[in-house]
Homo-oligomer: A and B are copies of this chain.
Amino acid sequence: MFKPVCRQAVRQLASINRAAIGGKRHLHAPVSFDWKDPLNVANNYTEEELAIAETAESYCQERMLPRVLDAYRKEEYDRQILTEMGELGLLGATIQGYGCAGVSSVASGLITRAVERVDSGYRSGYSVQSALAMGGIEEFGTEELKERLLPQMAKGKLLGCFGLTEPNHGSDPGSMETVAKPHPSKKGVYLLSGSKTWITNSPIADVLLVWAKLESTGKIRGFVIERDQCPPGTLETPPIKNKNGLRASITGMIQLDECPVNEANMFPEVEGLRGPFSCLNSARYGIAWGTIGALEDCISRAREYSLERKQFKGNPIAKYQLVQKKLADATTDAAYGILAAYQVGRLKDEGKAAPEMISMIKRQNCDRALINARALQEVFGGNAVSDEYGIGRHVANLFVTQTYEGQSDIHSLILGRAITGIQAFC
């Protein structure tokens, strides 16, 4: 039913399509406005990217969407989803080799957007696997680690998670307390102790990328913990329940009590916050795409509701100026947001994306998605309280995306520092 993301097949398809539409350019016929893509960003995608987007979109709408209402109510995550995405080649899609699709950053953004159009929780699960866990291993791991783990992770057979945040150190990971010290007797083995929290996928992860301070140097290093190698009692990953949002994703802690990890599973070169921040950059880039996907779904739902809901003499409420303004505002922010994410995607592949650019699009797209989703929720009036309209779920999810991987105020100060050269974290 769904086309796997395969470069060759797609490319052929693309060239055919391009030939077919080739002659139409520059005819300057009257141009129609598409509220789903108001600034015609699709015009900028390659045929390959369009094909990948279509694959992802179909899968998400046909297979993910039917599960989400129940998952959200019960606060359950179906890990089968990652396996299915793996089968379609959507996991770790920008990685070259190791069984990964090797697509552009824009294509990867389009996948992310398709997933979050369904639910930010599903997107979180996807981002953690692709950008944080696989991305981290690909960027910093030894060749042995990559060859052993990445192909299995790409297929969704092994699930990953990413342990950086600690209970007392949210915005300031540099103060982390998790520590790695040499095993008193076994050479080449470290013992990790400490506690991580708000870790998406941790309760079901097979591969846990955990950042800890090396006792000897005080420097932060990355460790790949393989759950099946951990002696009983050294690794616990209890789930965190009763969340206000992202209820269709699974979140938990990572509790390490002298958990042994082979030195070969430590990232050999990267030290300090550069490692985790590099991974987070990729994840944040994905969030910038994803949150606009969620907003686009809100627009679509609110638009449809406003056309169907009639009040006062049978007028659809879409006729009311106050409703139209909400739709116009949201559509504008969605269009600007996707365009900005697209631009950074292209720059990323050219090696020209500064981290502050990603702070900018992560912050802005989360904020604007949230603000507009809330405004659109008003269109539903009292009916918004019913979870069947889906928009309340997006609103609750988007608030969480605004707070994680750098709360918006933190990104404001990162940008402020980049603009003024002055640190204002006090």
Q: Do A351 and B25 contact each other (CB < 8 Å), given the known contacts A321-B322, A356-B33? A: yes
Q: CB < 8 Å: which of B38, B329, B381 contacts A356? A: B38
Residue of B nearest to A344 (CB): B39
- What CA separation (Å) do A179 and B40 show in the bound complex? 40
Interchain nearest-CB distance for A350 vs B (Å): 6
Pair A419/B324 contact, Cβ less than 8 Å: yes
Could you say how many copies of this chain the assembly holds? 4
Interface residues of A in 234-277 (CB under 8 A from B): 240, 242-246, 251
Interface residues of A in 11-46 (CB under 8 A from B): 25-29, 31-33, 35, 38-41, 43-44
Residues from chain B with a CB closer than 8 A to the CB of A242 are 73, 386-388
Interchain nearest-CB distance for A21 vs B (Å): 12
- What CA separation (Å) do A168 and B402 show in the bound complex? 35
**Interface membership of A6, Cβ < 8 A:** no
Residues from chain B with a CB closer than 8 A to the CB of A60 are none
Interchain nearest-CB distance for A63 vs B (Å): 22
Residues from chain B with a CB closer than 8 A to the CB of A327 are 415-416, 419-420
- What CA separation (Å) do A93 and B264 show in the bound complex? 63
Residue of B nearest to A407 (CB): B381
Q: CB < 8 Å: which of B321, B353, B356 contacts A413? A: B321
Q: Do A243 and B385 contact each other (CB < 8 Å), given the known contacts A39-B357, A360-B332? A: yes
Pair A418/B360 contact, Cβ less than 8 Å: no
Interface 9-mer from A108-116, A147-155, A186-194, A309-317: A309-317
Q: CB < 8 Å: which of B44, B332, B336 contacts A415? A: B332
- What CA separation (Å) do A399 and B306 show in the bound complex? 19
Residues from chain B with a CB closer than 8 A to the CB of A335 are 340, 360
Pair A26/B344 contact, Cβ less than 8 Å: no
Pair A381/B403 contact, Cβ less than 8 Å: yes
Q: CB < 8 Å: which of B310, B339, B424 contacts A324? A: B424
- What CA separation (Å) do A416 and B364 show in the bound complex? 23
Interface residues of A in 320-350 (CB under 8 A from B): 320-325, 327-329, 331-332, 335-337, 339-340, 343-344, 347, 350
**Interface membership of A307, Cβ < 8 A:** yes
Most B Cβ at <10 Å: residue of A320, A327, A377, A381:
A381
Residues of A at under 8 Å CB distance from B?
A: 25-29, 31-33, 35, 38-41, 43-44, 73, 165, 168-172, 175, 198, 240, 242-246, 251, 303, 306-307, 310-313, 315-316, 318-325, 327-329, 331-332, 335-337, 339-340, 343-344, 347, 350-357, 360-361, 363-364, 374, 377-378, 380-388, 392-393, 395-396, 399-400, 402-404, 407-409, 411-413, 415-426
Give the top 4 A-B pairs by smallest Cβ distance, nearest first: A324-B416, A244-B392, A28-B351, A328-B415
A-B CB contact pairs (8 Å), 14 listed: A26-B351, A38-B360, A39-B347, A43-B350, A171-B381, A245-B385, A245-B392, A315-B426, A320-B426, A327-B420, A331-B419, A374-B374, A377-B399, A378-B409
Instruction: Beyond A378-B408, A381-B403, list 13 extra A-B contacts (CB 8 Å).
Output: A31-B352, A35-B418, A38-B357, A40-B343, A40-B347, A40-B357, A44-B343, A171-B311, A245-B392, A322-B413, A324-B415, A325-B409, A336-B340
